[in-house]
Amino acid sequence: MKKTLTINLGGIVFHIDEDAYEKLQQYLDTLSNKLSAESDSKEIISDIETRMSELLNIRLGNKRQVVSMEDISYLIEILGDPDVISNDEEKHDKKYTQPLGRQHRRIYRDSENRVLGGVCAGLAAYWDIDPVIIRVVFIVLVLLGGSGVLIYLILWLIIPEAQTTAQKLEMRGETVTIDSIKDFIKQEFEQVKKNFKKDKNEN
């Protein structure tokens, strides 16, 4: 008989074996220490916890109710070891490029590049093409009989919006790891700073 605990991970409640909890806590503590110098460390860790909860939900399904040591090992294998987190200098020295590939691409609505609901931008990200092409196709369908509007509305309803960092990475077919989450958040932060400076200069 094992002692089981209840935790809240990424906003979702899980029951977890005590030994699995200790391994998870050690992992998160190590991760927190490694990212302590990052200005956006809290956001990075929060997104990693959200990704963990997504993976656990998929792995557990309706078959099991308790997270085991094997499940935590599975998470660590996918997300990577905090002790080998790359820093910017290492990436530069090793001519680092993200070997993420486009292997697990998923369809989401891209709200960051949307004109209306982000359907066209999401489809373009999925197929790795210019969103303008998808938008032109929908416009042509509208002009040829109006079916484009109906198709767009249906896709808007059935395609989920990419909200988390992991979903935004999956939309682009990139592997979701500690490094890719960290890099994505830093890129978003830099983009926000650029936009802020641009708006400030224009005003």
Q: How far, in Å, are 41, 159, 189 from residue 196 at the CA level?
A: 21, 31, 11
Q: Is the dihedral of CA 156, 157, 159, 164 positive or negative?
A: positive
Write down the pLDDT at residue 85: 59
pLDDT 10s per residue in the chain (203 long)? Answer: 678 899 998 888 999 999 999 999 999 988 888 887 777 778 888 888 888 888 898 888 877 789 999 999 988 888 887 766 555 444 444 333 444 444 567 889 988 888 888 899 999 988 888 989 999 988 888 888 778 888 889 999 999 988 778 888 888 877 777 777 877 777 776 666 566 566 556 65
- Rounded CA separation 73/164 (Å): 23
Considering the entire predicted model, what is its pTM? Answer: 0.62
Write down the pLDDT at residue 99: 41
Write down the pLDDT at residue 192: 60
Write down the pLDDT at residue 195: 61
Judging by DSSP bridges, how do beta strands 12-17 and 4-9 pair with one another? antiparallel
- Rounded CA separation 42/90 (Å): 22
Write down the pLDDT at residue 15: 92
Buried b / exposed e across 92-124, counting CB within 10 Å, b at 16+?
eeeeeeeebeeeebbbbbbeeeeeebbbbbbbb
Write down the pLDDT at residue 60: 87
| Cβ pair 161, 108 in contact under 8 A | yes
CA nearest neighbour of 73 among 27, 5, 18: 27
- Give Cα 156 distance to the centre of its chain: 20
Write down the pLDDT at residue 7: 92
Query: Could you tell me the residue ranges of all domains in the chain?
Result: 4-84+165-202, 111-158
